[in-house]
Amino acid sequence: MALRSHGRYGFIKPSLDAHTLGINSAAELLRSCGYEVLIAEGPVEQAILDYSYESRREVVINWLVENRISRVGISYRLDEADAVNMVGYLVNEMQRRSLFSYQGGFIEAVYFAGLPRTCTLIEREFGGLVKTFSGGESPYDTLLKLGVPGESIPKTISWASKYDDLLMEFGREVVSSGEHVTVKPPQRPTYPEMGTKQDTVVKRLDANLKQAEPFYPLVRAHLGPYSAELKREEAVRQFVSWAEMLAKSGYLDILSIGTSQLTQSNFGEDWSGMANGGGVPINSPDEYREIWDASRPLLVRTYAGTKNISGLARMHEETLNICWHALSLWWFNELDGRGPYDLYTNLKQHIETIKFIAKTNKPFEANIPHHFAFRGADDVTYIVSAYLAAKLAKRLGIKTFILQNMLNTPRHTWGVQDLAKSRALLKLVRSLEDNDFRVILQPRAGLDYFKPDLYEAKAQLAAVTALMDDIEPFTEKSPQIIHVVSYSEASHLATPDIVDESIQITFCALQKYRELRRSGKIEDMSRNVEVKEREAALLDGARLVISAIEESIEDAYSAEGFYKIFAAGFLPVPYLWNEKGEFKWAKFWRSKPVNGATKLTDAEGRIVETERMIEFAKGKLSDAEYCLQQKHRS
């Protein structure tokens, strides 16, 4: 595409702020419309941090002048006051030097992207001179706000944005109608073991699948209250009371206990002088038993440990009759700073724990692909990581696999890409199904998807519910489980009433969206050509990677195999912050948003095809094997 002769954009992000996806996403959108975009690096990123010094501002201004930037974008998602001052100093400097077009200069517009509160302050301070982006804008609206004429926006973006906009319009209609507050708890079919120590999620799923219409999926919700003002025992008592409230209200099926980092890493130890780090500070088997007693007849689950992993899994069985176990294999260790083990030790511990889980006949959830996405992995890697975990689980004797699929991750992902990614993921993992291996889809909203504005967040919850239903639009009993993320996620701690209302919104949205589909008032997304093309491309890429892994690595489905897969770079993670030298190839590539997807790139920003990544990783297998040998010797 030929570059437009006017409207060169320049984006600046202070080096202190690690948030880069927003800038990269906006830059790619503009480039797809034919505009040139420059992103400031090194000296300019550092200089803008010292904006109060004239000599440092001059570095930024010189960059704008030398590159004839006509539209300036500044991104900063940290301190509010710092952001307002930063923009103020730069705008004043531009005015002092007569750089604005109304002064005869070349700068036509200034934009700021940051936290909602900061955006409000900047709009109040600068009026219409600085346009702000607080997140959540659709690609189409983003481009219009950046000054791109509607006729210059590619049809692909317009159409994809239209789908996302329609979902949000639907979500707002659901919330504005207020109908969700009238939704009653579903009348779940009972069975003899329900709520007892003999109960299982499989029994509850099978009973629920037999119920008459309308079908309501089982609902899991995550809850983890903690206040520094409460003593540890008081915080646990609060959670026990919340469990009782949720069991009594009847909306929730699966209570997911959000335990503290200390619970996961130092269970049963003396916590004196240690920071809790948020979450319920449970520190004894008796406290788990008390929660189980209070939560009857809910199913209950909790986080795995980050050390003594199999021992804690056994304790969760004994105290909670845990409805399923979740492990992250490559994560919750030294790599992400969430646990004490090195990667190889962590893999060995997780595999031994999965073997134990298989003996209990409980389901296993791979809490994995979104952790790769959090660290910049491309969409193919997201899918491959889940497939590898599922195949490993099957080989280790797991009978039921809970496939958690976090939508809106990263947040810039378009709805059409989420559908394609979800369907490709499902197709690959379900290819493993047989009489001894069952796959249960469990979609959820993204971790950083929701806006702080509670009305908008409620609308987003309804919208993402509709997106979930479009994954398998004509299978009324899919998904079988929904992980409902509370709408207050970005604002404040979810309490039982917020959890219940979030479930009401989810159920209301699900039924209203299905009514619209039955009456032909929404598009049949099962026939959408673009989604099909994206799905096919993701499947092709994922199959290439899986084949290469299985052909190149002996005993790939083992701790040694999974270590080599990661160390050689078959699962690229560009934002692996706690990287050591042994994992330099895992973070060799970069990634960026492209048309609502996340793709691998090289250092120059060029798309890296899957075949190139595979050949690169094959060439690094000897390095990975050497690192593994060092582990065996130590």
* pLDDT 10s digits, 444-491: 999 889 988 899 999 999 999 999 999 999 998 999 999 999 999 888
Element (H, E) at 99: none
Q: Which of 521, 550, 250 is nearest to 391 (CA)?
A: 550
- Averaged confidence pLDDT in the chain: 93
**Dihedral sign, Cα of residue 599, residue 604, residue 609, residue 615:** negative
How is the chain split into domains, by residue range?
A: 9-153, 168-363+400-415+440-530
Q: Give the span between the Cα atoms of 94 and 107, in whole angstroms.
A: 9
- Note the pLDDT tens digit of each residue in 244-275: 999 999 999 999 999 998 999 999 999 988 88
Pairing of strands 325-327, 364-366: parallel
* End-to-end CA, the chain: 55
As given in the structure block, the two tokens for residue 62 are 């010189």
What's the rounded Cα separation, in Å, for the pair 299 and 218?
A: 10
Pairing of β 597-601 and β 590-594: antiparallel
% of the chain surpassing 70 pLDDT: 97
User: Both tokens of residue 530?
Assistant: 């673009």
| pLDDT (0 to 100) of residue 463 | 98
| Per-residue pLDDT at 7 exceeds 90 | no
If you average pLDDT over residues 498-508, what whole number do you get?
A: 98
Query: From the CB of residue 207, how many other CB atoms can be counted at a distance below 10 Å?
Result: 16
Phi, psi angles (nearest 5°) of residue 609: -70, 155
How many C-beta atoms surround the C-beta of residue 572 within 10 A? 26
- Amino acid identity, residue 36? E
- High-pLDDT (> 90) share of the chain, %: 79
| Residue/partner pairs of 576-579 with CB below 8 Å, 24 or more apart | 576/335, 576/375, 577/336, 577/375, 578/334, 578/335, 578/336, 578/337
Q: How confident is the model at residue 5 (pLDDT cuts 50, 70, 90)?
A: very low
Confidence of residue 21 (pLDDT cuts 50, 70, 90): low
Diameter of the chain measured on Cα atoms: 81
The CATH architecture one would assign to domain 168-363+400-415+440-530 is Alpha-Beta Barrel (3.20)
pTM of this structure: 0.88
Taking only the tens place, the pLDDT of each residue in 289-318 is 999 999 999 999 999 999 999 999 999 999
Report the chain's C-alpha Rg in angstroms: 25
Rounded Cα distance between 322 and 197, Å, is 9
**Options 3.40.190.10, 3.30.360.10, 3.40.50.280, 3.20.20.80; CATH of 9-153:** 3.40.50.280
What pLDDT sits at residue 394?
A: 98
Q: Are 394 and 401 in contact, with CB atoms under 8 Å apart?
A: yes
The pairing of strands 9-12 and 71-76 is: parallel
- Categorize the per-residue pLDDT at 19 as very low, low, confident or very high, splitting at 50, 70 and 90: low
Count CA atoms within 13 Å of residue 86 on its CB side: 28
Determine contact, residues 146/9, Cβ cutoff 8 Å: yes
Confidence label for 76 from pLDDT (cuts 50, 70 and 90): confident
pLDDT of residue 116: 83
DSSP 266-310: STTS--TT----SSB---SHHHHHHHHHHTTTSEEEEPPPSSSHH
Q: Pick the residue with more confidence: 596 or 159?
A: 596
The per-residue pLDDT for 80 is 86
Choose the weakest-confidence range: 52-61, 391-400, 425-434: 52-61
- Dihedral angle, C-alpha 450, 451, 457, 459, nearest 10 °: -100
364-421 pLDDT, tens per residue? 999 999 999 999 999 999 999 999 999 999 999 999 999 999 999 988 899 999 999 9
pLDDT digits (tens, 9 = 90+) for 554-563: 999 999 999 9
Contact yes or no for 409/372 (Cβ under 8 A): no
User: CA 444, CA 408: separation in Å to the nearest integer?
Assistant: 9
Rounded to an integer, the average pLDDT of 522-526 is 94
If we measure between CA atoms, which residue out of 629, 621, 623, 627 comes closest to residue 551? 621
pLDDT of residue 340: 92
Which residues make beta-bridge pairs with 259? 280
What's residue 525's pLDDT? Answer: 95
How does DSSP classify residue 406? E
**Do the beta carbons of residue 471 and residue 422 sit within 8 Å?**
yes
